[in-house]
Amino acid sequence: MIRIVVSPAPIDLPSEIAAAEAGGAGAVATFTGLVRADDGVDCLELEHYPGATEAALTRVAEQAVERWSLQGATIVHRVGPMRPGERIVFVAAAAPHRGDALAACAYLIDRLKTDAPFWKRETRGGTASWVEARESDTAAAARWSATGAG
């Protein structure tokens, strides 16, 4: 019921959604992250820490399953070079009802942004630069630690 994939292969949305729906849940919430096409990035490259990345994503999924009693949690993450418009990440949460599915889906994407060892490098006009850590990602993840959240 937990599916974790870290791979340079393109993310196949129909097959991932079908797999998330196969567990008999009443509600499946999904999120897809794409390389933004509107801010001048020609190429986005994602580096990761093999082994540690999969372990970190598994922990995030296990925490979501425990917190919302999910029937399934999926995290599929692309690594390597990508072009604008391509999918970087897909998450899905399957639960008996929509409230838990939607909340768990938001939790999965917020947590993986700060808890998993990924580093982004953007190329604009032939110049590559590493992306700095974002305060907003840390804040988004921290809201799940607040009393009564979720």
Partner 1 sequence: MPIHMLYFAWVRERIGVTEERVTPPDDVRDVAGLIAWLAGRSDGHAEAFAEPARLRAAVDQDFVALDAPIAGAREIAVFPPVTGG
143 touches partner 1 (CB under 8 A):
no
Half-sphere exposure of 113 (CA within 13 A, CB side): 20
Which residue from 36, 80, 119, 139 is in contact with partner 1, where contact means CB under 8 A?
A: 119
User: What residues does 87 pair with on adjacent strands?
Assistant: 34
137 touches partner 1 (CB under 8 A):
yes
124 touches partner 1 (CB under 8 A):
no
Q: Are 119 and 130 in contact (CB under 8 A)?
A: yes
70 touches partner 1 (CB under 8 A):
no
Residues 6+ apart with CB under 8 A from 29: 92, 93, 95, 98, 101, 102, 104, 105
Number of residues that bind partner 1 (CB under 8 A): 26
134 touches partner 1 (CB under 8 A):
yes
Query: Per CB under 8 A, which of residues 14..43 are in contact with partner 1?
Result: 33
Separation between Cα atoms, residue 51 and residue 48, nearest integer Å: 9
Residue 78: closest CA among 33, 31, 17, 134: 33
Part in contact with partner 1 (CB under 8 A); list of ranges 7-15, 22-30, 93-101, 118-126: 118-126
* Parallel/antiparallel/unpaired status of strands 87-95 and 27-34: antiparallel
Separation between Cα atoms, residue 62 and residue 56, nearest integer Å: 10
139 touches partner 1 (CB under 8 A):
no
Quick one: 49 or 96, whose CB is closer to partner 1? Answer: 49
Query: Per CB under 8 A, which of residues 98..117 are in contact with partner 1?
Result: 112-114, 116-117
User: Which parts of this chain interact with partner 1 (CB under 8 A)?
Assistant: 33, 46-49, 51-52, 55, 77, 88-89, 112-114, 116-121, 130-134, 137
